[in-house]
Structure 1
Amino acid sequence: MAAGIMLCCTAFHASAVVNAEKTRVVFNSGSIAESLSLVNSEKEPVVVQVWTDNGDPTVSPDKVHTPIVINPPVFKMKPAEIRNIRLLLVSAGSLPQDRESVFWLNIYQIPPNTETQLKNEKRVVLPLKIRMKVFVRPEKVGELKESDIQKLQFSIRHDAGSDKILIQNPTPWHMTISSLKSGQTELSGVMVEPFGRQLMEIPKDQTTTNEIMYEVINDNGTRWSNKKMYADGQG
């Protein structure tokens, strides 16, 4: 009973303290440095650690290696402070030259007081981590344009006992599809690698039509919409 009372009196506070000005960072052809503005809330100071990884969020910063260096990697922010960080591309020569590469930026924020007392309510303030994509485009790969999302190809595959939508990406860009709908079928978002393919299973209680509508997230973090016809039974 005592343990139950303690749980009832404890509130876990996990609202974001530091936020970024955009949802992704893009190194376009020839760029070796990009900046990102962070803004702290007006309520309290915070300690921030920033690093990049290869897609595995469980790897600690001291054990991950990417061609991107962050400056500064650790810093304090005062209430309402705006801070610019620099992302430096230091070894792009090892990356593929015919397609875009992707890394992940981690913004780890630790409020100064992990435990506070307010009106007899115990609050535990949890450290928070924001993750966003970092795209690196070699010299031969230009900027992503709205017309490029029309190059995505969709078809239906009939595998043993289940139907799937096959998405093929013939472009050198990562295509981040935020929504996909065909008939009664609505599927969650997915990122398809350059020159890659992705299979999305169709729930058995849903049906599709011969038209598919989808949205792709662009460099600005907004969405481009498009619709296409696709052939049943291909793939």
Structure 2
Amino acid sequence: MSFNAAANVVLGGTRMIYDEIKKEANISVSNQDSSKPVLIQTWVENFSSQNKDEVPLIVTPPLFRLEPEQENIIRVIYSGAGLPQHKESIYWLSVRSIPSTQRSKENKLLITVQNRIKILYRPKGLSKKDASEAYKKIRFSLTGDKVEAINPTPFYVSFYSVALGGKELKEADMIAPQSTKAWRAPHGKLDREIKWQAINDYGGVTKEIKASL
């Protein structure tokens, strides 16, 4: 038995920002294999697996063949089905690559590769500048053995790092708009300085912010 994998498919970003005023969002997908085509399957799903609501975003094309060393564009379109206008919404874009096969007497195990990136739907009333500044407005507090974060903004903030007293909070990942989230504080005696960095719209890392709790 031999293996046939499709691991040479690369997306043109680590996240997709859907600005409502642009009517659609897009991202490139490329096949970096020099000899084998792949079949690409795309879809959008709710960010939480517990959310069974219908997804108001349509992806096109949903299924296509990508030739060796070629690139295509995946487009996401909002169906207009009532997303909040006062804050961002979040979904997953899933891209599955399926390797090509040739008839052979040899048994082969096909290995599909699936990538998932965040789609952040940003209503037209929210500005790109305010989104870039949102991480600076996160407020932290220390209560018992918990570090609590408050996000008063209408934007999702994805953390690159959060450290209290020089010790990283590895569970700190993302905080939703206008919400509170708590993580377990590091063990041991700590000073009360907290530092954090976030991930911006382009997948880059912001400057570090410091505060005392």
**1:22-53 CA distance string (max 9 Å, x none):** 11111124121122111002242111110000
Residue 57 of structure 1: CA displacement?
A: 6.1
Tell me, yes or no, if structure 1 residue 179 matches structure 2 residue 161: yes
Tell me, yes or no, if structure 1 residue 88 matches structure 2 residue 77: yes
Alignment of 1:214-233 (within 5 A): 214-231=196-213
Residue 76 of structure 1: CA displacement?
A: 0.6
Segments ≥4 residues shifted beyond 4 Å: 10-15, 56-59, 122-125
Tell me, yes or no, if structure 1 residue 193 matches structure 2 residue 185: no
Distance 1:174 1:113, change over 3 A: same
Is contact 1:103-1:134 (8 Å) kept?
yes
Distance 1:73 1:64, change over 3 A: farther
Report the Cα distance in structure 2 between the residues aligned to 1:131 and 1:101, rounded to whole angstroms: 16
Tell me, yes or no, if structure 1 residue 17 matches structure 2 residue 8: yes
**1:120-175 CA distance string (max 9 Å, x none):** xx9844211100011111122111444332101011011xxxx1110110100000
What corresponds to 2:119 in structure 1? Answer: 134
TM-score (norm 2): 0.86
Q: CA RMSD in A?
A: 2.8
Give the one of 97, 100, 103 matched to 1:112.
Answer: 100
Give the one of 65, 74, 79 matched to 1:76.
Answer: 65
Residue 77 of structure 1: CA displacement?
A: 0.7
Residue 54 of structure 1: CA displacement?
A: 0.6
**1:158-208 CA distance string (max 9 Å, x none):** 1xxxx111011010000001211122421224110000111110243x443
Distance 1:97 1:154, change over 3 A: same
Is contact 2:5-2:112 (8 Å) kept?
yes
Q: Which amino acid in structure 2 is aligned with residue 190 of structure 1?
A: D
TM-score (norm 1): 0.79
| 5+ residue gaps, structure 1 | 1-9
| 5+ residue gaps, structure 2 | none
Report the Cα distance in structure 2 between the residues aligned to 1:56 and 1:155, rounded to whole angstroms: 27
Report the Cα distance in structure 1 between the residues aligned to 2:55 and 2:210, rounded to whole angstroms: 37
Structure exhibiting the larger radius of gyration computed from Cα positions = 1
Residue 84 of structure 1: CA displacement?
A: 1.0
Q: Say how many residue pairs are matched.
A: 210
